[in-house]
Amino acid sequence: MEYLILKNKSSRYISILLLLVLMISTIEGSLFPHLDIEELLREELGIYTDTTEQILQATKSENFFVRLCALELLKDRIGTKAIPTLKEALDDQRMEVRWRAAHLLGTLDDKTGLERMRQDLMEFAPNNGAPVPLDPNVTDPNEIKEVEGKRNLRLSYALDAATVLAELGDRRGYELAVRMALEGAWAVQRKQAVQVLVEIAKGDEKILAAEGKDPVIFLCAVAEFEKDRTVFRKLTGSVEELRGDIAARVLEKAISSRHQSELMRNVAKRRLERVRAK
């Protein structure tokens, strides 16, 4: 398992590793659905979380990875009593911790994280992900790659914020999600964008129409034209959260995709059958 090599690694290494974990997880449910967080902290980092007090202490760790895990454990352990600590985490210096705190608060019917996520969305995607011309003085390929990498990471952070906002009923990340679903340079960005659009599509259709928003048409476009199988799988799985007729509309597009293998089209077909059987 990836986490077995955390021990004695630098904070930068852990940051990179956590980013990879975040990329293959979703904002839904547990952050690490297949890992034992308490075992991870105990065996690899020597941090014990047997008591609530120990978990609270871990939320103050200098290591953001530890803080992130501790917030997850605290919410699971004490429920709404974790709200004050989760609110404090909204001001964490790391975006990964802030958006997770906002999400966890949302699962406890607390929308305190809305304003911070709005700020983060604006900070990391002030132009809704529109392409930014490179500095003409930057000509070194490695430097260009580094600049683009940093920009894409910021857009990924913005999509995290947009997802939490959409979960809490705030649709201001819609334009960013549409752009990233269709044009995102990283597959993880396109997966994040799909989740944002799915969350928005759960809203009232009349309100969405009045606002000129149609997330379903863009989910259909992803179903029809996406080439990456991980994004396609994310899409076909996530739309099952939607109302049956909406899910079926997207899955029908997925089944007829010319850009996916027969295997992946069959995955979409099985999901459509499941939707229709409900």
Domain boundaries, the chain: 1-110, 113-212, 214-278
Q: Which two tokens stand for residue 63?
A: 């290591």
Task: Identify the pLDDT of residue 8.
Answer: 44
pLDDT at 25: 47
> What is the pLDDT at residue 9?
47
Cβ neighbours, 10 Å, residue 118: 17
pLDDT for the residue numbered 102: 97
The pLDDT value given to residue 35:
63
CA 34 to chain centre: 17
Task: Find all residues with CB under 8 Å of 4, minimum gap 6, and list them.
Answer: 44
CA nearest neighbour of 188 among 6, 74, 20, 7: 20
* Global pTM value: 0.85
Considering only CA atoms, which of 234, 232, 274, 238 is closest in space to residue 253?
232
Question: Which pLDDT score, from 0 to 100, does residue 205 have?
Answer: 94
SS3 for 140-163 is: CHHHHHHHHHHHHHHHHHHHHHHH
Query: Could you list the mean pLDDT of each consecutive 10-residue stretch along the chain, which spans 278 residues?
Result: 40 50 48 69 86 95 92 95 98 94 96 97 92 81 90 95 96 97 96 98 96 98 97 97 97 97 97 95
The whole-number pLDDT of residue 7 equals 42
Give the pLDDT score at 220.
98
Closest CA to 124 of 163, 88, 90, 150: 150
Tokens coding 22: 């975040």
pLDDT, residue 129, reads 85
